[in-house]
Structure 1
Amino acid sequence: MGERIRALRESRGMSRSVLAGMCNRGPDWLKKIESGDRELRSHTLLLKLAAALSVSDLSVITGNASDVAATVPTGRLNHPGLPRIWDAVMTRPLLIGQPAVPPDPAQLQGRVDQSWRLWHSSEHNRTEVCALLPDLIRDAEAAVRFLDGDARRAARVALSDVYRLTGQATAYIAPAELAWVVADRALTAAQDADDPSAIAAAAWNLGNILRETAYPEEALRVVVEASDLIRPHLETAPEDWRGIYGALQLHAAVTYARDGAEGDAWRCWDKGNQVAKSLPVSYVHPSTVFGRAVDFHQVSVHTDLRKAQKALGLADEIDPEIMPSTERKARLWVEVARGHLQRGDRTAALMVMKIAYQTGAETVRFTPSARHVVADLWRKAPRALRPEAAQLAELVGVSEAG
């Protein structure tokens, strides 16, 4: 079994520390499992390993044919908004009737920008944005179909933005085929528009999909290529071009950190930090919310590198109100809670996760790392705090199997 786990891990480009961390264990534990020095008897840990390795059948790990029926949960969460989005994306009609009023690309882009602002400002961002996306997808597709010249180019940029937002809003609730279709359409629309900034933003989105599906090397390749596209223009580029370039650097930093590559992680974070310093204090990239608040990502890098003490020390100095995104604030608190868990302080982790939920309920409810923290607290919180942990677990929708 250990040899099979190691082969699966290496085939996905994952370090021991990353895979072990996804199971809330240390790399030494995984090393003993892989070497055969320790027997893995916990069914719960087997399920966690299988989910982290994107294996849907336990027999692939155990080698026991009788485990074929033991299907591993895919990790996809249910959301009522997904069916209409699936219909808009996956049943795109080949023929679209001529609209009564010619599409206005500027108006379309305005609706997309407003939807991005809603994503970053609402406590229930996933539900509210998912309700808007089906019409946005259809209207953007129609605009590209019936416009030409510069108007079509602008519509393609808006279409790319729509699909990027779709990818963000359906993360962890969409099946893999929908996630890949959405990421590909975002990049294709941006390339057809021949807009470097839109291409880079679509690459940032694709990098997220690749990283979350255990393809870190491919994610880094996409991010590096997009950075190379933007870099020659940085001195004279508009602020949003520099903003997406900085976001790409932070994306690479987190990707490296999750793989345990500390030097590369901080090298990329430094690049992102330098870009942030070159932008106005009030600047915020409209979709990635890249700006001066790069310390938020610094906490994530420390946490993913399992440097809990440094992550928590830095978090103590951060004012969450400087981040103009409710979603990112909630994610910061989740990272802080992860840091407390790494130190074994479940009392502090529970208090912080309650703040995270109050800040962005749906960010916690639909983000796997947040759900893992809540599930851990539900099972292992100090006796006196178990009622509070159980209440939070119920709000988040964490079951015993999750």
Structure 2
Amino acid sequence: MDLSADLSTGERIKVLRESRGLSRAVLAQLCNRGPDWLKKIESGERDLTNHGLLLRLAAALQIHDLSVITGHDDGPAATVPLGRLNHPGMPGIWSAVMQRTMVPRSASAFDPSIIQGRVDQSWNLWHTSQHNRTEVSALLPDLIRDAEAAVRALDGAGRRAALVALSDVYRLTGQATAYVAPAELAWVVADRALSAAQDADQPAAIAAAAWNMGNILRETSYPEEALRVVNEAADLLRPHLDGSPDDWRGIYGALQLHAAVTAAREGREGDAWRYWGKGDQVAKSLPANYVHPSTVFGRANVDFHEISVATDLWKSAKALGLADDIDPDIMPSVERRARLWVEVARGHLQRGERTAALKIMQMAQEIGAETVSYTPSARHVTAELWRTAPRAMRKEAGELAEKVGVSTG
């Protein structure tokens, strides 16, 4: 993009933000700041002289050279690191996804129910292990190859069942490789999950794959497309809900919560609470102890999302008040419990309560080490705590940063 030399730093940031379809609230959140801070930067009311914040803005805007933002190119280029996080499980998953064979195998070697059982067990591992990425990533290459082979080898009802299992495998792959997969793999995985579900012609599988696609769209700064996909999936599933299995209503509720978080991150408060309310009504229609096997939708997850929505809307007092009334142990997902405490820590940080935020983040890391290490919002909170912690807490903040893998250099 050619930017006029007459533009100020704030004006450049605004142009770049709008060209990427980012709202002010979303870009500010990626920098661990509030939307008012960014508004003042863009309007020129506040100067941006902090080099660390400049780097964060550049990375969030996917700008490789700081001079694009500052307009000053009279010195050496200031390169911005844009690389994704690394995980040792990626090469095996990449090989299974991107180098799939076209050679069919004997149909007698595959029972779709067995493959589906392996997928279900892997989803359970994802939600119960402290090291879920590492353990699930070790299982995925064989699961991907076997589910692909089953689809090619079978026909009729067996093939449709295998397609549902394959869609589930790719949804799990999307979860396990989030924030570590190259963009091309993330999109291939999301598309294959949706295509397999559509080929199976199974509404609940299509809705679940759309929920997964919505995650990719939201995290790559396409919030309107994310909302469109999950709303279309909800419309597709709604006519089938009367008399349907609980899991069909569970994924319908998960779509509503997904939309609530997407709207909240865009600063659309009314829409966010409207979607959350729909999810709340779905949870009330299900058994009190119901939990969806992959999205963990249920009463506890609805309550957890209420905190997330409040935090994303910068309603920290409301978020922390809600957190006081929640028993986190009722959530069977270790991954979701860890993310809850990250949201609570974000709420404390928004209020300038750094000591409380540090203690909460330490607890989140103990509950779900890999969830914290591989979730951008958790890493942002950790980095901010290391940078701003009170002198008495610097050692603890540094130890947390080291465990999470956040550079303190």
TM-score by length of 2: 0.94
Give 1:14's aligned residue.
22
Pick from 186, 191, 195: which aligns with 1:184? 191
In the TM superposition, 1:168-207 aligns within 5 A as 168-207=175-214
Cα 1:317–1:67 shift into 2, 3 Å: farther
Pick from 29, 34, 45: which aligns with 2:53? 45
Pick from 319, 326, 330: which aligns with 1:322? 330
| Structure 1 contact 121–325 (Cα < 8 Å) conserved | yes
Tell me the alpha carbon deviations over residues 233-273 of structure 1, each in whole angstroms, 9 at most, x when there is no partner: 22222211110010000000000000110000000000000
- What code does the residue aligned with 1:317 have? D
- Does 2:281 align with 1:274? yes
In the TM superposition, 1:72-87 aligns within 5 A as 72-74=80-82, 76-87=84-95
- What code does the residue aligned with 2:224 have? E
Pick from 126, 132, 143: which aligns with 1:119? 126
| Matched position secondary structure for 1:336 | helix
- Does 2:229 align with 1:237? no
- Does 2:397 align with 1:395? no
Quote the Cα distance in structure 2 between the aligned partners of 1:190 and 1:207: 15
TM-superposed CA distance for 1:336, in Å, is: 0.4
TM-superposed CA distance for 1:59, in Å, is: 4.0
- Does 2:241 align with 1:247? no
Give 1:256's aligned residue.
263
Tell me the alpha carbon deviations over residues 282-329 of structure 1, each in whole angstroms, 9 at most, x when there is no partner: 211110000111110000000000011110000010000111100000
Quote the Cα distance in structure 2 between the aligned partners of 1:181 and 1:60: 31
Cα 1:141–1:39 shift into 2, 3 Å: same
- What code does the residue aligned with 2:334 have? T
Cα 1:68–1:227 shift into 2, 3 Å: farther
Pick from 380, 385, 397: which aligns with 2:393? 385
Instruction: Pick which of 37-46 and 270-279 moved more.
Output: 37-46
Instruction: Pick which of 67-76 and 18-27 moved more.
Output: 67-76
Instruction: Pick which of 60-69 and 321-330 moved more.
Output: 60-69
| Structure 1 contact 277–292 (Cα < 8 Å) conserved | yes
Give 2:221's aligned residue.
214
Quote the Cα distance in structure 1 between the aligned partners of 2:76 and 2:264: 34
Give 2:308's aligned residue.
300
Give the fraction of aligned pairs with identical amino acids, expressed as a percent. 76
For structure 2, the residue ranges without an aligned partner over 5 or more in a row are: 1-8
| Structure 1 contact 59–67 (Cα < 8 Å) conserved | no
| Structure 2 contact 107–153 (Cα < 8 Å) conserved | no
Quote the Cα distance in structure 1 between the aligned partners of 2:210 and 2:76: 37
TM-superposed CA distance for 1:277, in Å, is: 0.3
| Matched position secondary structure for 1:186 | helix
Quote the Cα distance in structure 1 between the aligned partners of 2:75 and 2:43: 22
- What code does the residue aligned with 2:370 have? E
Quote the Cα distance in structure 1 between the aligned partners of 2:353 and 2:45: 29
Quote the Cα distance in structure 2 between the aligned partners of 1:253 and 1:105: 34
Give 1:131's aligned residue.
138
Quote the Cα distance in structure 2 between the aligned partners of 1:288 and 1:388: 33
| Structure 1 contact 121–327 (Cα < 8 Å) conserved | yes
Quote the Cα distance in structure 2 between the aligned partners of 1:223 and 1:57: 35
- Does 2:173 align with 1:163? no
- What code does the residue aligned with 2:154 have? L
- What code does the residue aligned with 1:171 have? A
In the TM superposition, 1:339-378 aligns within 5 A as 339-378=347-386
Pick from 131, 148, 154: which aligns with 2:155? 148
Tell me the alpha carbon deviations over residues 336-381 of structure 1, each in whole angstroms, 9 at most, x when there is no partner: 0000000101110111011101110000011110011111111211
| Structure 2 contact 104–152 (Cα < 8 Å) conserved | no
TM-score by length of 1: 0.96
| Structure 1 contact 13–217 (Cα < 8 Å) conserved | no
Give the number of equivalent residue pairs.
400
| Matched position secondary structure for 1:347 | helix
| Matched position secondary structure for 2:359 | helix
Quote the Cα distance in structure 1 between the aligned partners of 2:75 and 2:166: 44
- Does 2:102 align with 1:98? no
Tell me the alpha carbon deviations over residues 207-254 of structure 1, each in whole angstroms, 9 at most, x when there is no partner: 001101111011001011101101112222221111001000000000
| Structure 2 contact 401–408 (Cα < 8 Å) conserved | no
Task: List structure 1 segments (4+ residues) > 3 angstroms apart after TM superposition.
Answer: 54-60, 62-71
Give 1:226's aligned residue.
233
Cα 1:101–1:60 shift into 2, 3 Å: farther
| Matched position secondary structure for 2:299 | coil
Alpha-carbon RMSD:
1.6
TM-superposed CA distance for 1:64, in Å, is: 4.4
TM-superposed CA distance for 1:66, in Å, is: 6.2
| Matched position secondary structure for 1:350 | helix
Quote the Cα distance in structure 1 between the aligned partners of 2:293 and 2:234: 18
- What code does the residue aligned with 1:78 have? N
